[in-house]
Copies of this chain bind each other. A is one copy, B any other.
């Protein structure tokens, strides 16, 4: 796509057709500026085929806000919309509506309360609440979901992989398998969720990071073809990057050629006063090869050289590799803990794609302004779990006496959750499931949604990625280990206050088929 086309594809019209036809309909009925409230939340934790996450890490908001600032109906957008036709060949959008869209069609009229990026978030809890005139709040739906679903999916995966790797360095290597231009967002989200660095050059720099990498197999192949062999390639690399010498040892034969050649080059580097970084294993039985390579590096006097693992890694693969190392390393005279503490993980495909097909985040209207107040809206569903939690809500996270996050509570706008002596909490769907949480059981109560945007003006300064990553780390530490578990996690509690529960029941009864 040409750059000018890309601007048009990714501006205000980076949205779905029906939002614009609905906006025109609302305009004709004088409803387009009626304030409404939409909740963004996801229903199910990402599913990775044979296992599922127990939490998510929120990401993508800052870039959504950037998009909202830029998106508007300019000349190119007007021309495009004027060219749209109905099935009978007439113009789809009339000049009245387009005139309004041109003048008023910006997101400077929208306000947002949102969870901070990097925070741990849970299913069915509003993560973003958008308030604004119906037409623009509706046009926002698809871009908002697009920006938030993907980054949240990837940040979540990064946190899981980092945890599996026992907090050893994690490098994101996914550009080549990333979903085209979605790559930059994926890298950002990976860094928020726990990756230390990325191999992707431009975006790393823009986010304040150095990019990282080793060298290509093709470099070794070329040197072999030129008669200089793998050793020649390694020497050339060490000469060019004596203090960043991480050698890829699997082009010919990892244990017979790659590691011995790397050790020779490391010895040469050491004699010149440089400290070699380590090796990368990119194929074969990574656990076995890591043990054997560690033994060889130890024997040669390089007990601290890093061993970087890559090739189809994800959290389960890493978990299995570490289990295998713990079992097998002693047989080769290698201390498993020492080996694990020198590992570095390079994860590509399964991080940048998450290995799940999506986060099912949705954006649902919860309330409409009526006589100066918020009138709750409901969509019932044949599946009770999909019936919305209606109204103008607040979200509170409650920590127990151990300072562990124990429940996220959806409450009414004026409910006192912070100081009430006791809270009556209802399961969002099951009629019979409620419980009382007393003040004594609570160490602290935290509002999760922060005022973020008011009539298009940002209330929060952008923060560095490291700060978001730190929020993620703090939240993970305050999560029950059962909820953090990679496979078959314990389900985190999300509850409604009595007020929201009763509102929901009343609305479900009121919504009857009409006609």
Measuring CB to CB, which residues of chain A are less than 8 angstroms from any residue of chain B? Answer: 1-3, 5-11, 13-22, 24-26, 28-29, 31, 34, 36, 38, 49, 60, 63, 66, 70, 80, 83-88, 90, 92, 134, 138, 141-143, 145-147, 149-151, 173, 175-186, 199-206, 210-219, 221-222, 224-226, 229-231, 236-237, 240-241, 243-244, 251-253, 256-257, 260-261, 264, 277, 283-284, 349-350, 353-361, 363-365, 368, 370, 375, 377-383, 386, 511, 513-515
The answer to whether A15 touches B146, judged by C-beta atoms less than 8 angstroms apart, is no
Q: Which of B230, B241, B284 contacts A86 (CB 8 A)?
A: B241
Given A31-B222, A216-B138: A80 touches B205 (CB 8 Å cut-off): yes
Q: Which of B9, B202, B514 contacts A184 (CB 8 A)?
A: B9
CB nearest to A94 among chain B residues: B240
A-B contact pairs, 10 of them (CB 8 A): A9-B203, A31-B222, A49-B49, A84-B211, A86-B243, A90-B243, A151-B180, A179-B185, A221-B378, A222-B377
Q: Which B residues touch A244, using CB under 8 A?
A: 86-87, 92
The answer to whether B142 touches A225, judged by C-beta atoms less than 8 angstroms apart, is no
The answer to whether B18 touches A141, judged by C-beta atoms less than 8 angstroms apart, is no
The answer to whether A202 touches B8, judged by C-beta atoms less than 8 angstroms apart, is yes
Q: Which of B7, B29, B182, B257 contacts A182 (CB 8 A)?
A: B182
The answer to whether A177 touches B145, judged by C-beta atoms less than 8 angstroms apart, is yes
Q: Which B residues touch A383, using CB under 8 A?
A: 283
The answer to whether A19 touches B243, judged by C-beta atoms less than 8 angstroms apart, is no
Bound Cα distance A210, B219 (Å): 47
Q: Which of B6, B224, B357, B365 contacts A349 (CB 8 A)?
A: B357
Q: Which B residues touch A381, using CB under 8 A?
A: 283
Bound Cα distance A211, B244 (Å): 51
The answer to whether B149 touches A214, judged by C-beta atoms less than 8 angstroms apart, is no
Q: Which of B70, B176, B368 contacts A149 (CB 8 A)?
A: B176
Q: Which B residues touch A87, using CB under 8 A?
A: 243-244, 277
Copies of this chain held together in the complex? 2
Q: Which B residues touch A214, using CB under 8 A?
A: 18
CB nearest to A83 among chain B residues: B205
The answer to whether B224 touches A142, judged by C-beta atoms less than 8 angstroms apart, is no
Q: Which B residues touch A90, using CB under 8 A?
A: 243
Cβ of A372 to closest chain B Cβ, rounded Å: 15
- Given A8-B205, A142-B176, A179-B180, 9 other A-B contacts at CB below 8 A? A3-B70, A15-B201, A19-B213, A87-B244, A88-B243, A138-B218, A179-B179, A217-B364, A283-B382
The answer to whether A5 touches B353, judged by C-beta atoms less than 8 angstroms apart, is no
Q: Which of B24, B145, B370 contacts A225 (CB 8 A)?
A: B370
